[in-house]
Amino acid sequence: MKKYFLNLFEYNNWANSHLINKLFFIHDGKDETIKLMSHIISAQDTWLERLKETQNYSIDIWEIYTNKEIQILSEKSSNEWKKFINKLNDQSILNICKYHNSSGNEFSNSYQEIFTHVINHSTYHRAQINSKLKLKNIEPAKIDYIFYEREKLNS
């Protein structure tokens, strides 16, 4: 299970990186694509802080970063996720995390559920970004999971 999630977070980083490279064609810092990519990174970090049980995390999940900041923060976030998962074993991936959402409501979910949510959340917003890129006549990033696997085989 641990190996499975490490691979998914590697894929997540790969897909984010490919998409971030496309964002350098956009020079309007208020563009919706920049906002969504910033949100992906901030949401990843928020979930990781919840898992780490950081008491006073205060990440603004809708803060807008520059393209360069997105690139740096994405790589940092990915490295932190991999460090966190590497410390776990297959049994601890079933641990329960109690946390408060942005509205202050308390919830409990397993690490496994949270990992899955983070990956799916990122995929959802990357698809939105790709759609918006196409409308701007920028070729969408080819970030389907199978492309990642094929690239790994050819490396």
* Position 95 confidence tier, pLDDT thresholds 50, 70, 90: very high
Residues 10-31: tens digit of each pLDDT: 999 999 999 999 998 887 777 9
Residues 105-119: tens digit of each pLDDT: 999 999 999 999 999
User: Helix (H, G, I), strand (E, B), or coil: what is residue 110?
Assistant: strand
Question: Looking at the predicted structure, is the pLDDT value of residue 102 above 80?
Answer: yes
% of the chain beyond a pLDDT of 90: 84
Mean of the per-residue pLDDT values of the chain? 94
* Position 37 confidence tier, pLDDT thresholds 50, 70, 90: very high
Token readout for 86 is 């590497």
Question: Looking at the predicted structure, is the pLDDT value of residue 151 above 70?
Answer: yes
Average pLDDT over residues 127-139: 96
Token readout for 38 is 């910033």
DSSP codes joined into one string, 2-63: HHHHHHHHHHHHHHHHHHHHHHTT---TT-HHHHHHHHHHHHHHHHHHHHTT-TT----TT-
